[in-house]
Amino acid sequence: MKKRCRLSILLVLVLIVFSLSIFADEIDEITSDTNTNSAYDVSLSLIDLTSNMPIQNVTLKYMVNGISSSTFIDETGLLRFSLPEGDYNLVVEAYKSSKQYTTYYGTFDLKLIDVVDSDSLIVTKTVYMYPVGLLRGFVKDSLDNIIPNAELKFECIAKVITQYPKKTDKFGFFKVENMPTSSCKVIASYEEAIGMTEVEIVNGELSEVTINLDKALLKNTGYNMYQFLALLLGALIVFLVIKYLNKRSMNKHSKPINLKSKKAVDKPKPSSEIITVSGTILKTLNNKEKTVVEFLLANGNKTSQAKIRHATGIPRTSLSRVLQSLENKKIINIEKHGKMVNINLTDFFLGKK
């Protein structure tokens, strides 16, 4: 009986010791997990890459592994936050109150693994950011048509790795955000046409450019625009001469008109006289005005402003001044119907009055 009691007591003691051992292991695991998941106090000193001066008094937007936050950086130039142990990618953008666009930009990797002593959870790091601006622009041909999918190349003094666009979009447009401040050459090409412009990227400001290619990207017909206009003008003259000769031939076979009759109708001015009047006025015009008038003559004395601009290659602003000058000289009439602007030669120029 005594032996059974002793065995029971011994068994109970063994169970108690075993339970205490398991409980102690669980406490150690909880403590270990708590230490492992402790947050690091990160302090980043933000420095201007070009001047090596602290970046102060700016609004900061930063992204840690895709999660965005924002804060204000005071005179200390320090960005402070807490993170658990791990690998991180940070993207930082700074904005000055006096600027409309991003003024500083930087991206870097941060590892919070074995970077501090076991007794400390404070991490300090210097981060260099470069001053940036915004660039956007269009690519057009020599006739002011936008060029989609034009190839782009950027040559900048600043040796900072930047993701530049390789082509324009379907609207002939391109944009470069967070572009390092420096002087840059932007080169655009499409098929055999090429164009280049220089631009100065200013800190925190927008720079806009238009790159004009050295050719009009129209289908090759074997004739240039001036040859085409000359052919049209020649055909018009031949047509008027034939019409005049036919009219004379018809007059010979018609009944004679009684010149003494008061009811006799005046004859219209012959085509040769119209050509003489028009030719005299053409001699007083400059090259652009003459080009516009000749195009109107070749297209039945009337057309639209858009067709004149695309056919002659005269820029929009210059064409507006040319048309206004011709209207003042009573050579053309300008009629506006909504967005459509129609142009026609006046009766005065055509010798009808």
* Residue type, position 70, single letter: S
The pLDDT value given to residue 34: 44
Residue 310 sits in a domain of what CATH number? 1.10.10.10
What ranges in the chain are assigned the alpha helix state H? 2-36, 225-253, 271-282, 287-298, 305-312, 316-328, 347-350
| 187 and 297, same domain (yes or no) | no
Residue 10 forms part of a structural domain: no
Q: Write out pLDDT tens, residues 193-203.
A: 999 999 999 99
| 325 and 236, same domain (yes or no) | yes
| 343 and 314, same domain (yes or no) | yes
From 98, 131, 164, the end of a domain falls on 131
Three-state DSSP at 278 gives: helix
Strand partners of residue 198? 185
The pLDDT value given to residue 271: 46
139-149 burial, b if ≥16 CB within 10 A, otherwise e?
Answer: bbbbbbebbee
Residue 334 forms part of a structural domain: yes
Residue 190 forms part of a structural domain: yes
DSSP 265: P
Which structural domain, as residue segments, surrounds residue 195? 132-212
Residue 27 forms part of a structural domain: no
Residue 6 forms part of a structural domain: no
From 131, 156, 191, the end of a domain falls on 131
| 53 and 142, same domain (yes or no) | no
Residue 95 sits in a domain of what CATH number? 2.60.40.1120
> Number of folded domains in the chain?
3
| 120 and 137, same domain (yes or no) | no
The pLDDT value given to residue 26: 58
DSSP 17: H
Separation of alpha carbons 291 and 286, rounded Å: 9
Listed in sequence order, the residues at least 6 apart from 146 whose beta carbon sits closer than 8 Å to its beta carbon are 138, 139, 140, 171, 172, 173
The pLDDT value given to residue 42: 87
- Where residue 101 falls among pLDDT bands split at 50, 70, 90? confident
The closest alpha carbon to 348, from 293, 309, 289, 304, belongs to: 293
End-to-end CA distance of the chain: 146
Q: Write out pLDDT tens, residues 45-80.
A: 999 988 899 998 989 888 888 898 889 999 888 998
From 84, 116, 131, the end of a domain falls on 131
The closest alpha carbon to 188, from 202, 208, 173, belongs to: 173
| 113 and 192, same domain (yes or no) | no
Q: Write out pLDDT tens, residues 226-264.
A: 666 788 888 999 989 898 888 777 665 554 444 444 343
- Where residue 340 falls among pLDDT bands split at 50, 70, 90? confident
| 124 and 139, same domain (yes or no) | no
| 334 and 232, same domain (yes or no) | yes
The pLDDT value given to residue 269: 46
Separation of alpha carbons 315 and 210, rounded Å: 14
| 171 and 238, same domain (yes or no) | no
Residue 4 forms part of a structural domain: no
| 200 and 273, same domain (yes or no) | no
Residue 9 forms part of a structural domain: no
| 115 and 152, same domain (yes or no) | no
Residue 8 forms part of a structural domain: no
